[in-house]
Amino acid sequence: MKKVLIVGISLLSIASVVKAQDKQGASSSSSESIFKPFKVDVSLGYAIPSGEGSKGGVLFAIEPKYAVMDKLAVGLRIEGAITARGVVSPDGESAHGDVKTSSSYLATGDYYFTNNTFRPFVGAGVGIFSLAAASGDFDGSGEAITIAKSSSKFGGMLRAGFEAGHFRLGVEYNLVGATKIPITDDAGTSYGDLKLKNGYLGIKVGAFFGGGRRK
Protein backbone atom coordinates (compact mmCIF):
# COMPACT_ATOMS: atom_id res chain seq x y z
CA MET A 1 0.00 0.00 0.00
CA LYS A 2 2.85 2.42 0.80
CA LYS A 3 4.33 1.89 -2.64
CA VAL A 4 0.98 2.60 -4.31
CA LEU A 5 0.76 5.84 -2.29
CA ILE A 6 4.23 6.85 -3.55
CA VAL A 7 3.04 6.48 -7.13
CA GLY A 8 -0.09 8.50 -6.35
CA ILE A 9 1.92 11.28 -4.74
CA SER A 10 4.24 11.30 -7.78
CA LEU A 11 1.26 11.75 -10.10
CA LEU A 12 -0.10 14.63 -8.00
CA SER A 13 3.33 16.28 -7.88
CA ILE A 14 3.69 16.12 -11.64
CA ALA A 15 0.22 17.60 -12.09
CA SER A 16 1.32 20.57 -9.95
CA VAL A 17 4.53 20.97 -11.94
CA VAL A 18 2.63 20.94 -15.21
CA LYS A 19 0.38 23.80 -14.10
CA ALA A 20 3.47 25.86 -13.34
CA GLN A 21 5.18 25.21 -16.67
CA ASP A 22 5.50 27.88 -19.32
CA LYS A 23 3.30 27.08 -22.31
CA GLN A 24 6.08 28.04 -24.70
CA GLY A 25 6.62 25.24 -27.18
CA ALA A 26 3.43 23.40 -26.21
CA SER A 27 1.95 23.94 -29.65
CA SER A 28 3.33 24.42 -33.12
CA SER A 29 1.96 26.26 -36.10
CA SER A 30 3.48 23.55 -38.28
CA SER A 31 1.57 20.35 -38.91
CA GLU A 32 4.84 18.40 -38.62
CA SER A 33 5.93 16.72 -35.39
CA ILE A 34 8.29 18.63 -33.13
CA PHE A 35 10.22 15.50 -32.05
CA LYS A 36 11.74 12.61 -33.94
CA PRO A 37 9.39 9.64 -33.47
CA PHE A 38 11.79 6.79 -32.60
CA LYS A 39 13.92 6.52 -29.47
CA VAL A 40 15.31 3.94 -27.04
CA ASP A 41 15.26 4.38 -23.26
CA VAL A 42 18.04 2.77 -21.19
CA SER A 43 17.60 2.82 -17.40
CA LEU A 44 19.14 1.61 -14.15
CA GLY A 45 17.53 1.79 -10.76
CA TYR A 46 16.50 0.33 -7.44
CA ALA A 47 13.76 -2.28 -7.07
CA ILE A 48 11.79 -2.43 -3.80
CA PRO A 49 9.73 -5.66 -3.66
CA SER A 50 6.46 -5.95 -1.77
CA GLY A 51 5.90 -8.10 1.29
CA GLU A 52 7.45 -8.82 4.65
CA GLY A 53 10.90 -10.36 4.46
CA SER A 54 11.65 -9.03 0.98
CA LYS A 55 14.92 -7.34 0.09
CA GLY A 56 15.51 -4.68 -2.54
CA GLY A 57 18.02 -4.81 -5.33
CA VAL A 58 19.11 -3.51 -8.72
CA LEU A 59 16.96 -3.27 -11.83
CA PHE A 60 17.87 -2.54 -15.44
CA ALA A 61 15.66 -1.89 -18.45
CA ILE A 62 15.68 -1.11 -22.15
CA GLU A 63 12.60 0.28 -23.89
CA PRO A 64 12.34 1.07 -27.60
CA LYS A 65 9.51 3.53 -28.30
CA TYR A 66 7.67 5.16 -31.16
CA ALA A 67 5.81 8.48 -30.80
CA VAL A 68 2.47 8.20 -32.57
CA MET A 69 2.19 11.92 -31.79
CA ASP A 70 4.44 14.34 -29.91
CA LYS A 71 2.66 13.82 -26.60
CA LEU A 72 1.99 10.08 -26.87
CA ALA A 73 4.60 7.32 -27.24
CA VAL A 74 4.12 3.55 -27.27
CA GLY A 75 6.86 1.03 -26.61
CA LEU A 76 8.09 -2.31 -25.30
CA ARG A 77 9.74 -2.41 -21.87
CA ILE A 78 12.19 -5.26 -21.27
CA GLU A 79 13.32 -5.25 -17.64
CA GLY A 80 15.24 -7.38 -15.17
CA ALA A 81 14.92 -6.93 -11.39
CA ILE A 82 17.38 -8.58 -8.98
CA THR A 83 15.60 -8.96 -5.61
CA ALA A 84 14.86 -11.37 -2.78
CA ARG A 85 11.11 -11.87 -2.53
CA GLY A 86 9.50 -12.26 0.88
CA VAL A 87 7.33 -15.17 2.01
CA VAL A 88 4.58 -14.92 4.63
CA SER A 89 3.22 -18.06 6.32
CA PRO A 90 -0.42 -18.49 7.46
CA ASP A 91 0.57 -17.58 11.04
CA GLY A 92 2.14 -14.32 9.88
CA GLU A 93 5.79 -15.38 10.07
CA SER A 94 7.98 -13.97 7.29
CA ALA A 95 11.22 -14.99 5.66
CA HIS A 96 13.20 -13.99 2.59
CA GLY A 97 14.50 -16.08 -0.24
CA ASP A 98 17.66 -16.07 -2.31
CA VAL A 99 18.50 -13.06 -4.46
CA LYS A 100 17.43 -13.89 -8.03
CA THR A 101 16.54 -12.10 -11.25
CA SER A 102 12.97 -11.85 -12.51
CA SER A 103 12.16 -10.29 -15.87
CA SER A 104 9.21 -8.61 -17.56
CA TYR A 105 8.04 -7.79 -21.07
CA LEU A 106 5.42 -5.03 -21.19
CA ALA A 107 3.65 -3.07 -23.90
CA THR A 108 3.76 0.53 -22.65
CA GLY A 109 2.33 3.97 -23.31
CA ASP A 110 3.54 7.36 -22.05
CA TYR A 111 1.65 10.65 -22.18
CA TYR A 112 3.74 13.85 -22.05
CA PHE A 113 2.18 17.02 -20.67
CA THR A 114 4.38 19.48 -22.57
CA ASN A 115 6.50 19.77 -25.69
CA ASN A 116 9.14 21.81 -23.89
CA THR A 117 12.67 20.75 -22.96
CA PHE A 118 11.30 19.68 -19.56
CA ARG A 119 8.62 17.03 -20.19
CA PRO A 120 6.68 15.49 -17.27
CA PHE A 121 4.85 12.29 -18.15
CA VAL A 122 2.58 9.56 -16.83
CA GLY A 123 2.40 6.09 -18.27
CA ALA A 124 1.15 2.54 -17.96
CA GLY A 125 1.89 -0.90 -19.30
CA VAL A 126 0.62 -4.47 -19.43
CA GLY A 127 2.38 -7.72 -20.18
CA ILE A 128 4.14 -10.78 -18.86
CA PHE A 129 6.30 -11.05 -15.74
CA SER A 130 8.65 -14.05 -15.75
CA LEU A 131 9.23 -14.85 -12.07
CA ALA A 132 12.35 -16.65 -10.87
CA ALA A 133 12.07 -19.73 -8.69
CA ALA A 134 11.98 -18.95 -4.96
CA SER A 135 14.32 -20.84 -2.65
CA GLY A 136 15.97 -20.21 0.69
CA ASP A 137 16.13 -21.19 4.34
CA PHE A 138 12.44 -20.59 4.96
CA ASP A 139 11.98 -23.17 7.74
CA GLY A 140 15.05 -22.24 9.77
CA SER A 141 16.72 -25.60 9.15
CA GLY A 142 19.86 -24.06 7.71
CA GLU A 143 19.27 -25.70 4.35
CA ALA A 144 17.94 -23.98 1.24
CA ILE A 145 14.65 -25.37 -0.01
CA THR A 146 12.64 -24.53 -3.13
CA ILE A 147 9.09 -23.46 -2.43
CA ALA A 148 8.10 -22.09 -5.86
CA LYS A 149 9.22 -22.98 -9.36
CA SER A 150 9.83 -20.33 -11.98
CA SER A 151 6.56 -19.14 -13.50
CA SER A 152 4.94 -16.41 -15.54
CA LYS A 153 2.13 -14.05 -14.57
CA PHE A 154 0.17 -11.37 -16.41
CA GLY A 155 0.51 -7.98 -14.75
CA GLY A 156 0.54 -4.24 -15.16
CA MET A 157 2.56 -1.15 -14.41
CA LEU A 158 1.88 2.51 -13.54
CA ARG A 159 4.53 5.21 -13.69
CA ALA A 160 5.28 8.91 -13.54
CA GLY A 161 8.36 11.02 -14.07
CA PHE A 162 10.00 13.57 -16.33
CA GLU A 163 12.48 13.96 -19.15
CA ALA A 164 14.91 16.86 -19.46
CA GLY A 165 17.05 16.91 -22.57
CA HIS A 166 17.98 13.24 -22.99
CA PHE A 167 17.85 12.53 -19.23
CA ARG A 168 14.92 10.52 -17.83
CA LEU A 169 13.77 9.87 -14.25
CA GLY A 170 10.77 7.74 -13.35
CA VAL A 171 8.96 6.00 -10.51
CA GLU A 172 7.13 2.80 -11.48
CA TYR A 173 4.91 0.41 -9.58
CA ASN A 174 4.66 -3.08 -11.04
CA LEU A 175 1.39 -4.80 -10.16
CA VAL A 176 1.78 -8.57 -10.13
CA GLY A 177 -0.50 -10.98 -8.27
CA ALA A 178 0.92 -12.96 -5.33
CA THR A 179 1.92 -16.60 -5.70
CA LYS A 180 0.19 -18.94 -3.23
CA ILE A 181 1.87 -22.18 -2.21
CA PRO A 182 -0.38 -24.70 -0.38
CA ILE A 183 1.02 -26.26 2.80
CA THR A 184 0.05 -29.93 3.23
CA ASP A 185 1.38 -32.90 5.16
CA ASP A 186 2.02 -36.41 3.83
CA ALA A 187 -1.62 -37.30 4.42
CA GLY A 188 -2.79 -34.38 2.28
CA THR A 189 -4.07 -32.27 5.17
CA SER A 190 -3.97 -28.56 4.31
CA TYR A 191 -2.51 -26.02 6.73
CA GLY A 192 -3.12 -22.93 4.61
CA ASP A 193 -0.99 -21.15 2.02
CA LEU A 194 2.38 -19.50 1.93
CA LYS A 195 2.13 -16.17 0.11
CA LEU A 196 4.94 -15.01 -2.11
CA LYS A 197 4.41 -11.39 -3.16
CA ASN A 198 5.60 -10.46 -6.64
CA GLY A 199 4.88 -6.73 -7.07
CA TYR A 200 7.66 -4.19 -6.74
CA LEU A 201 8.39 -0.47 -6.89
CA GLY A 202 11.10 0.73 -9.26
CA ILE A 203 12.97 4.04 -9.00
CA LYS A 204 14.87 4.57 -12.25
CA VAL A 205 17.29 7.01 -13.84
CA GLY A 206 18.57 6.81 -17.36
CA ALA A 207 18.86 8.34 -20.78
CA PHE A 208 17.28 7.92 -24.18
CA PHE A 209 18.84 7.79 -27.62
CA GLY A 210 17.03 9.36 -30.54
CA GLY A 211 13.74 11.15 -30.09
CA GLY A 212 15.30 14.62 -30.05
CA ARG A 213 13.77 17.77 -31.44
CA ARG A 214 13.71 18.14 -35.19
CA LYS A 215 16.04 20.81 -36.55
Region 63-69 average pLDDT: 95
Contact 9, 1 (CB under 8 A): no
pLDDT, residue 25, reads 45
What is the tens place of the pLDDT at every residue in 90-110?
A: 665 666 667 789 999 999 999
What is the tens place of the pLDDT at every residue in 4-20?
A: 455 455 545 554 554 45
Question: Topology of domain 2-18+37-209, per CATH?
Answer: Porin (2.40.160)
Q: Is 28 helix (H, G, I), strand (E, B) or coil?
A: coil
The distance from CA 85 to its chain's CA centroid, rounded to whole angstroms, is 15
Mean of the per-residue pLDDT values for the chain? 81
Q: Among 63-77, 157-171, 184-198, where is mean pLDDT lowest?
A: 184-198
- Per-domain residue ranges for the chain? 2-18+37-209
Confidence of residue 67 (pLDDT cuts 50, 70, 90): very high
Contact 81, 120 (CB under 8 A): no
Residue 213 phi/psi, 5-degree rounding, is -70, 145
